[in-house]
Every structure is written in structure tokens, then in C-alpha cells.
Structure 1
Amino acid sequence: MKNRWIIFFSGIITVKISGKGLERLLNTLTRNGLNIWHVRRQGVESITFKIKLTDVKEFRKYVRGSGLKVSFFKREGFPFLLKRLLHNSGFLVGAILFIFIILLLSNMIWGIQVKGADPATEYKIHKELDKMGVKVGRLQLFVENVEAIQRQLTNNVEEITWVGVELQGTTYHLQVVEKNEPKQPEYLSPQNLVAKKKAVIVDMFVEEGQAVVNIHDSVDAGQLLVSGLIGKEGQNVQVPARGEIWGETWYRSDVELPLKSTFQVFNGNEKRKYYLKAADVKIPLWGFGKVEFKEYETETNEKNIQFLKWKLPLSFVHETHRDREVETRIYSKEEAFRVAKEMAKLDIKNRLSEDAKIKGEKILRQSLDNGKVTLSIHFQIIENIAEGQPIIQGESE
């Protein structure tokens, strides 16, 4: 029968009629628009069929005075189900509370395990986690995702180089790599040290091998600096040449900076919304209404809801809408050249190793055209120019 769900919510009664004139009654019912179905004969003078609860009153009118015996022996559908639930409301409330408590406990943080960190660093990590709200007993739904936790720990705890964060069930597992971890000894095969680039040598420290250049020497890229062949002629021994050869090198940085520029900044206003998500449907829980900001950025944090060890097809969504404004920055000519010079230095530092130093600088060209500053700077850099090059089998000094 069509629309079975509608009939289910309206209620269904199974009716048994006994006596003579059954067919005549059935014809009367159908002729007057009453829906009956699942009609079955029960013996010679009895039949059963189903009828909607809403049609029972009308049915009684037609059966009254017919001399037939009528009994209602089966009740189905939502009205009767609700009645039974209300009758056993204590069990219903208990079951709902039990499921709710299990659901709540399944989505709480019950453990935080940190591996690879000494006690002092582990204490700092736990302190930082407390600031972020990642603590035992806190609901996972209101905690940042693992990527954000990992990023904040790496930025805020100076003692660690890297931390991996993984959520397994109700426990966060953190694997830490500390900065002060002892370096593993480096085992090198026999090699020479050669120049990485053109330079003038200003200082040198040879740990192993034979230096073949001196301070103030000018060298080209690929030129031999320290030989890995030591000993007398004909009795050479191959060793891994090691050391630092400091040379003066040269770099050029070109920077363009407009006097007037626009950019977007956050002004501190934000609106938060919370949803329960099932499939692609989001049901608002808190933070109703439209976002009234003209320009804004949305950050979404979605957490799956678990029941014991199973992930339910439900998730808790937290959206943060941050208001942003367009700012216009205008430099004077002097400010623009100063900022462009700082940008050039930053560009050079990003291209150098940490131990390299800027010895000097010289402005090659600076101009102001079409509202834009153009600056070219020549930098003198002191850096280690040595790099290893394997010794070819049979090579002699």
C-alpha cells in the first residue's frame, strides 16, 4: 500500500469480523471510501483486515446493527508506540540518559601520552596543552584539531624541533623531537673539500685533510680547497676532508615597493556558530542569524562524534567568522627606501645559512617611478664556502 509511513504515524488497527454477510459489509466499507487492506479469511464465517485508526469511528457506524461480531486484536503505529513508551517512561528516560552518558564519555579526553621528551620538556608541553584546553576530562568537541595543536606546540615550546599529535579514541599521543637531542656522529667516505662558489678566503679551519689554499686567495666554484689525500708521495692515504673555509662572497637583491598599497586586517570582531552535522545537513545549535560582517574570513573546526570505539555519521562543527577591514598604507619616499632596504636584507638572509654574516652593502641603483620604489643592493657576505666532493678511485694528489 502506498504512503505506508503516513499510515504508520496515523496508527493501524487489525480487525476481526465474524458472522454472516461479511462480503456485503466489505463492499459497503469500500464503497464509502474506507481503506482496508490485508484482507484474509479465517475459516468460513470470519475475516481479518487492517484499517487506519482514524477510520475506526466511521467503521463502527457501518458495522453497528449488522449482527456481526467485531474484535480489535492488534494495534500498530506511532500513537500506540508512543503510548507504550509513556507507560514505560522510566525505562525510556533511563535508556536515553545511558546513551547520552556513553556518548559524552566517548567524546572526552581520558589520556595524554608524551613520548620522546625529557621530564622538563614534558612538563612545559603539558602546561602549553592546559592553556589550549587540551586536558583530561575536557570534551574533544571544544578542542582544536590535531594540526592546530601540533602547530601551537611547535611555535610555543622552544625546546622541541617537531611534535606529532595523533588522537586515538579518547587519548592524545604526542611524539616529540627535542632540539637538544645529541647529534649522531657523521660517518664520511674519503672526500675533498671544494668551493661552492666564487669567493676570497678570509679565514679557515681544517679539521682533517691537507689545505691547498691560503687566506686572501681568490677561488672559483669547484676549485679544490682541502685535499683528502695526505702523506708522502707514493704513500698517500685517503681521508674524509673536514673543515670550514670562510670566504667573502657577493649577492645582489632587487626589490620593488609601491608607495601606496592596500591589504586586509582583522579588527577583532567575530561571530561563532555551532552545528550538529549529519551527512551534508547542518543543524544549528548556537549562534543563530546571519553573519553581518561585510568582509570576513571563516575558520571551520569539525569533530567526529564517537560512540565507544565507533565513529558515528555525525559531527560537531564550530565555525568562527572573523571580521576584516581593508587598510591603505602610504609611505613617504624616505620610508619606502628604508623599508625596501630592510626587505632586501631579509631576502638575502633567507638565501643564506644561519652562520653566514653580512659584511657590507652597497646600493647599486635606486629610483622612484610610477608610484613605485625600485632598489638594487650589492651585499658582501662571509660564509662557509666548502662542500664535500667524493675522491675518485685512483686519484692522486
Structure 2
Amino acid sequence: MRNQRDFFHGRMTVEVQGALMEPFLQACVKRGCHISDMKRTEEGKVLLTIRLKDWQILRQLRKKYRCKISIKGGNGLPFFINQMLGRLYLVFAFLAAVVVIFLLANTLWSIKVDGLTPELEADVETHLKDYGIKPGKLTIGMSDPIEIQQKLLDDVPDLLWIGVKKQGTSYHLYGVEKTRYDTKMDNRPSNLVAAKKGMIVETFIKKGRPLVSVYDVVKKGQVLATGKLVEDKETVIHSDGEVIAETWYKVEQNLPMKQVLTLTDGQVESEYHFRLGEWEVPFWGWWKGEDGNFREENHRDGWDLFGWESPFGMKTTDHYSIDPKAYASSRDELEKLGLASGRRSLQQEIPKDAEIKEEKVLHLGEEHGKVKLILLYKVHENIAVTKYLSQGD
């Protein structure tokens, strides 16, 4: 019976050390402490067993008798429960980690759409949200990629085809837009007229009767090819083709005599961000790059685990210290700079298939600390545009 009570209340193995060890133990017994299994381990040290509730008695008397006590072990129900609770916390922590990893691995973090115009891409993203597919939502219960593909093809009439692929925690869509042709407009009677003044260098008339030839100089609005194949008949077809002409463009450039060159001294301060999907959390160096002139460069790294694309990653922002230096340019340098700048500016204005053949400097002079350049460019481009004919023409 006593052993059963000791099991439920708990027992402790304690080592006692001190010069007044005997009086200390006698005082503990007088206070009601049950001592058993006592044995002397070495001179001045005793190993004994007490009940768990007697531990407070030993602690209260140890200072009075200048004894040192230390716990060597314990058994019984209280120690068993404490041990199980400690392991239970570990089990709960493990289960919580598994749940968090499971949720992160089954959460949609990003959607990427390629191959479509911005307007059509926005339309596709709107429909995806209507389907419940958006960043931050669990992929569990979402439609499979084949079903999403069919829904988009049914709901977005401008889509010719779209592919939906799930890559880790992201969706990658690639679409092809329908090309709409207005057959009625293509078959309407029309002429080809000059969009601007120029000298003809090549003609490629696919449909219609040409009215100009190479080296002819035409003005804006002049008919280049007509849809009337026979002069004395009323039948008019749709004209189609290209007429390449030599045209001229004048470009003006104003460049400062003093140029500012931005130099870096090699010093760099790095700022680090922890990335979770599209969210970024700075954790080191966010205070850098605030004082002085700096040039920033961003680097993004993803973390892959056994081929699985995780939503976690790092973003590093490098702040390079820069020092702007002013220097004076010569007229020859500014002329070369102006020619290159004028060519780039002109290429943004002319059609993509147009070709710059020649460039000339018409004027080069200084005005108020700046160099004024007037440039002339010879361009070969298609000047033929379609002009539809009404019934009375």
C-alpha cells in the first residue's frame, strides 16, 4: 500500500553534502520527512530517497545547517505526467510545423500570363478571380488546369487558345489571341495613295493597276495604284501592295557643352529582404542607401527544394555610391552624340520596316552654352496606304 501511495505522490533521489549533515537529516525527520534507501557515497556525501512533497522541507532547512542538496532523479506519477507533457509540446510543435508547411505548399502565390495584350491579360485575370483563382488562396478545391483552360476559352471570346500549367505554388498561362479579319473591308474597292511626299525606289503591287514607276516623285494623296483594272470599265477591285519611296526627315538636337558623367567609387551597401511570394519583408540593411547619392541594383533569388519551387526567396538591393562629374565635350564628340541620338529618336517615329539610308549635318552651331544640330536623314519606307472608294467614285 505504501509503495502505491509513493508512486502516486512521487519520490525523489537526492544527494546531501555538508559538515552538519547528520543534524540536518535529524531535523528533516522531526519535521515529518520520510527518508529511505540512504547510503554514503563518499566522505561528507549521502544519497537518499524522499517523497516529492518533502522536498520543500529539505529546502527550508538546508541554509540553517549549511548543507548542499541536489536532485539526482525522480519517479512516480507526477514525474511521468511532466515527462509526457514535455513530449506533448514537442508533438504539437511538430504537427503545427507540418500544417504550416502544408498550407504554404498548397497556397497560390503568383499568376503569370504571357502572350496576350495588356487588355486581354486583364480580362483573363478578372475571370480567374471570378473562378476563385487568385494569389493567397489555397489550391485545394480549385479547378484543375484543364477545367480552367476550358472555362477561359468559353468565357473570353478573343482567345484562340490558352494553356494553363501549375508550377509549384504558381500558375503559368500562355495564350494566343484571335486575329480578326474584316473580310467585307478587305474586299471593298480601293486605291493605293501616297501617305507623304517622296521619290519612288521600288514597287510591289499585288492587286490593282500601278500608276507610278521607279524614280517618279509623288506628293501626298497622289494615287499610286488603282483598283480599276481596265480604264473604260466600271469594275473596281481592292488594291493591295507596297510602294517604297525615298523620304527625308529633319531632326533638331540641342546638346549641352558640359556633360555630367556618373561614376561609382566601388563602395556598395547591401540591403536584404525576405520574400514570400509577392510580399517582401526587410530584415537587414534597410537603413542603408539613405545618405548621399546611390545607384540601386536589385537581385531576386528563389529557393527550390528537390525541384519544388517554394514561395520563399531572398531579394538583395545593392546601393552603389556614385559621384557625378561634369566635363566639357568637344564639337566633334557632340556631333557624333547628336547623330546617334537623332537616329534613335527618328527610329521611334518611322515605321519598323523603314530603313535609314543616309544622314547629313545641315547646321552645327553654339547657342547659350549648347550645341544646336540640324540633321537630315534619308529614309526608304512604304508610303502606300489604302483609300476605299465609295459607290459614286
Query: Which structure 2 residues correspond to residues 190-339 of structure 1 after superposition, within 5 A?
Result: 190-233=189-232, 235-262=233-260, 264=262, 269-275=268-274, 285-287=283-285, 290-291=288-289, 294-296=292-294, 318=315, 320-328=317-325, 329-339=327-337
Aligned AA (2:272): K
Structure 1 residues 297 and 108, CA gap change in structure 2 (3 angstroms): farther
Q: 1:264 touches 1:324 (CA, 8 Å); kept in 2? A: no
Aligned AA (1:204): T
Mapped partners of 2:111, 2:281: distance in 1: 30
Q: Cα offset for 1:219?
A: 1.7
CA-to-partner distance for each residue in 1:195-240, whole Å, 9 max, x for gaps?
001112222121110112233322211111111122351x332211
Mapped partners of 2:295, 2:93: distance in 1: 42
Aligned AA (1:378): L
Mapped partners of 2:273, 2:294: distance in 1: 17
Q: 1:275 touches 1:286 (CA, 8 Å); kept in 2? A: no
Query: Which structure 2 residues correspond to residues 69-80 of structure 1 after superposition, within 5 A?
Result: none
Q: 1:293 touches 1:323 (CA, 8 Å); kept in 2? A: no
Q: Cα offset for 1:391?
A: 1.1
Q: Cα offset for 1:262?
A: 2.0
Corresponding residue for residue 368 of structure 1: 366
Q: Cα offset for 1:371?
A: 3.2
Structure 1 residues 355 and 111, CA gap change in structure 2 (3 angstroms): closer
Aligned AA (2:349): R
Mapped partners of 1:176, 1:228: distance in 2: 38
Mapped partners of 1:218, 1:264: distance in 2: 49
Q: 2:269 touches 2:289 (CA, 8 Å); kept in 1? A: no
Structure 1 residues 210 and 274, CA gap change in structure 2 (3 angstroms): same
Corresponding residue for residue 172 of structure 1: 171
For the pair shown, which has the larger CA radius of gyration, 1 or 2?
2
CA-to-partner distance for each residue in 1:86-118, whole Å, 9 max, x for gaps?
4732332222322342245246999999999xx
Corresponding residue for residue 15 of structure 1: none
Corresponding residue for residue 387 of structure 2: 389
Corresponding residue SS for 1:340: helix
Corresponding residue SS for 2:348: helix
Corresponding residue SS for 2:342: helix
The correspondence for 2:348, drawn from 328, 347, 350, is 350
Corresponding residue for residue 90 of structure 1: 90
Corresponding residue SS for 2:214: coil
Structure 1 residues 209 and 104, CA gap change in structure 2 (3 angstroms): same
Structure 1 residues 113 and 337, CA gap change in structure 2 (3 angstroms): closer
Mapped partners of 1:260, 1:166: distance in 2: 54
For structure 1, the residue ranges without an aligned partner over 5 or more in a row are 1-81, 117-162, 304-314
Aligned AA (2:190): Q
Structure 1 residues 262 and 107, CA gap change in structure 2 (3 angstroms): farther
Mapped partners of 2:343, 2:375: distance in 1: 9
Q: 2:271 touches 2:286 (CA, 8 Å); kept in 1? A: no
Mapped partners of 1:215, 1:333: distance in 2: 40
Corresponding residue SS for 1:200: strand
CA-to-partner distance for each residue in 1:123-150, whole Å, 9 max, x for gaps?
xxxxxxxxxxxxxxxxxxxxxxxxxxxx
Q: Cα offset for 1:250?
A: 1.5
Q: Cα offset for 1:354?
A: 2.9
Q: What fraction of aligned residue pairs are identical, expressed as a percent?
A: 27
Mapped partners of 1:212, 1:232: distance in 2: 12
Kindly report the root-mean-square deviation, in angstroms, between the aligned alpha carbons of the 2 structures. Answer: 4.7
Mapped partners of 1:288, 1:243: distance in 2: 60
Corresponding residue SS for 2:340: helix
